[in-house]
Structure 1
Amino acid sequence: MTTEQITPLIMSLLSALIGGGVVALVNHLLTARRERSRKLADLRIQTLIDAWRKIEASVIPPNDTSYRDMNSISDGIEGAIASIILLGHSNEVKLAEEVCRDFSSGKGVSVDLLLKGLKSSIRRELGLKGAVGENFHLRVYRDKQK
């Protein structure tokens, strides 16, 4: 083979290797971005579910006079609000801030709007249809005399 015959073969081989390398690099970068995005979404959803559960557990029925461990409830709410402010979307952060302002001002605090907003957002991100109706809180009290 002469140099004139080898040069096109080498050029063909080099262009194939470079093209394949570029495609592999772009594929890797897009896959890494998609994985980061999915991990963030999973973290956000799990964190908001945990926050929703803590806040929902703190809701005390109006006529409840039973003993509740208020320290663990307040710790749970503080952590939940912090998680929402850290990972929530702007509307969720706004609702969490409203709860904080109401609490700080000494007004009665209602977390119903925050719970509805979280529930709606979580269901939307999980691809579920919106739940209709008001928030419902089930409380089961065990007899302490056993």
Structure 2
Amino acid sequence: MKVVFILIRLTGYLLGSFALFSGVADVLGFIPHSYETPPWPARLMASLPSMLAGAVLLVPIKYCLRGAMLYVLAAGYALVVLAAVVLSVQALIGYSSGTKGPAIVPAAMIFLYIPVANAFVLWRMRRDYKGPPNNSFKPNLSADAAKSA
């Protein structure tokens, strides 16, 4: 199961880095547009959602399994999964209406699967998390009393 989690996280890292770096490239003006390149604030606002989703997918899960960071990451995954569901449903509706080609169906399912699987890995790692070991010394008073008597 650990190998499956590693592969899921690897796909999450790949998709996250692609989303983040392509958004940065668009904001910097390296991606050509059809008619003319819009001003950089418009490009930033258009690329910001995908860049934030990429940043959520790039956060290492094993360092965020407790405290407030867990809840922030879980909320980020919830928003990314919700956006992926909305985009997948829109793609499937476009396919059923005939405005999109048949290749949109597997693409929509893949782009839905990656954030959902990464959110599942977060849930499973949090469920299996035991926390740091408790190495504090706790004397057993009843055993000490029995030895001295």
TM-score by length of 2: 0.31
Q: TM-score, normalised by structure 1?
A: 0.31
